[in-house]
Amino acid sequence: MEKLANRAVKAIWEMFPEEDVQNSQLEDGDHIYVYRAVGYSHHGIYVGRKDELQYVIHFGKDIPSCAKCGHKENHEVKLVITCLDCFCYERNRPLSTSLYRYRYGAGRLSLPGTCTTLKPKPSKEVVRVAYKLLEEGFGDYDLLFNNCEDFATYCKTGTARSSQATFVANSAALVGGATLAPLSMWFYFSKKKKEKRRG
Ligand SMILES: [Zn+2]
């Protein structure tokens, strides 16, 4: 049953285009993400290259110390600046290789965690804000209310917006936390359609 549900979600997921990027195509100020599981992604702001390494500012936790970028293992979730390998790292799983660029100015009917209707700021400003928050903090991490997607969208637009968390919250409210993914997907999309009609 769970396998079937996962397959259904994956099938719906694949109906929507996402912008996958090679490391060499990254531009300063890009909001990027990698998948940690079907439908759950990790987000950060690409802040550029230094001495052959490419750096990302993101909410990190339990990323092992890295000889390449000098990241020291941390056990609390906090904003960190690391190389791309550290950004993609996930415990007990092979390094995720597909990297995606979050889309801005997208249409309203869209996949949670991949894009937003909001318009982005100029890239220099995005990088500046990411570094400023790295120093000052972005509050305590919260999966639903202050997560990695919120941080990245805030850097890009000045508004924290996690479509992923909204989706999860709606799903939880509907099914009492059970993993009825296809049903919650349907709920999410029909809600988005309603919003579109209203707007
Ligand atoms: Zn690293």
Encode pLDDT of 28-51 as tens digits.
999 999 987 766 789 999 999 998
Q: Reply yes or no on whether 148 is catalytic.
A: yes
**Average pLDDT, integer, range 89-110:** 78
State residue 138's pLDDT score: 86
pLDDT in tens, 115-152: 888 899 999 999 999 999 999 988 887 776 778 999 99
Determine which one of 69, 88, 148, 155 is catalytic.
148
Please state, in angstroms and rounded to a whole number, the distance separating the CA atoms of residues 68 and 145.
Answer: 32
Determine which one of 58, 83, 88, 115 is catalytic.
58
Q: If you ran DSSP here, which 8-state letter would residue 24 be given?
A: G
Angle 56-164-20 (CA atoms, 0-180°, nearest 5)? 50
Using DSSP bridges, classify how beta strands 103-104 and 115-116 pair: parallel, antiparallel or unpaired.
Answer: parallel
Q: Reply yes or no on whether 42 is catalytic.
A: yes
% of the chain at pLDDT higher than 90: 39
Q: If you ran DSSP here, which 8-state letter would residue 180 be given?
A: -
Query: How remote is the CA of residue 146 from the centroid of ligand 1, in Å?
Result: 24
**Worst-scoring range by mean pLDDT, 89-93, 112-116, 124-128, 175-179?**
175-179
Angle 172-179-89 (CA atoms, 0-180°, nearest 5)? 95
Query: How remote is the CA of residue 87 from the centroid of ligand 1, in Å?
Result: 8
Query: How remote is the CA of residue 44 from the centroid of ligand 1, in Å?
Result: 14
Structural element, H or E, at residue 57: strand 53-60
Nearest alpha-carbon partner for 142 in 130, 151, 133: 151
Q: Reply yes or no on whether 83 is catalytic.
A: no
Query: How remote is the CA of residue 143 from the centroid of ligand 1, in Å?
Result: 23
State residue 96's pLDDT score: 60
Band of the pLDDT at 163, cuts 50, 70, 90? low
pLDDT in tens, 41-79: 899 999 999 988 999 999 888 889 999 999 999 888 889
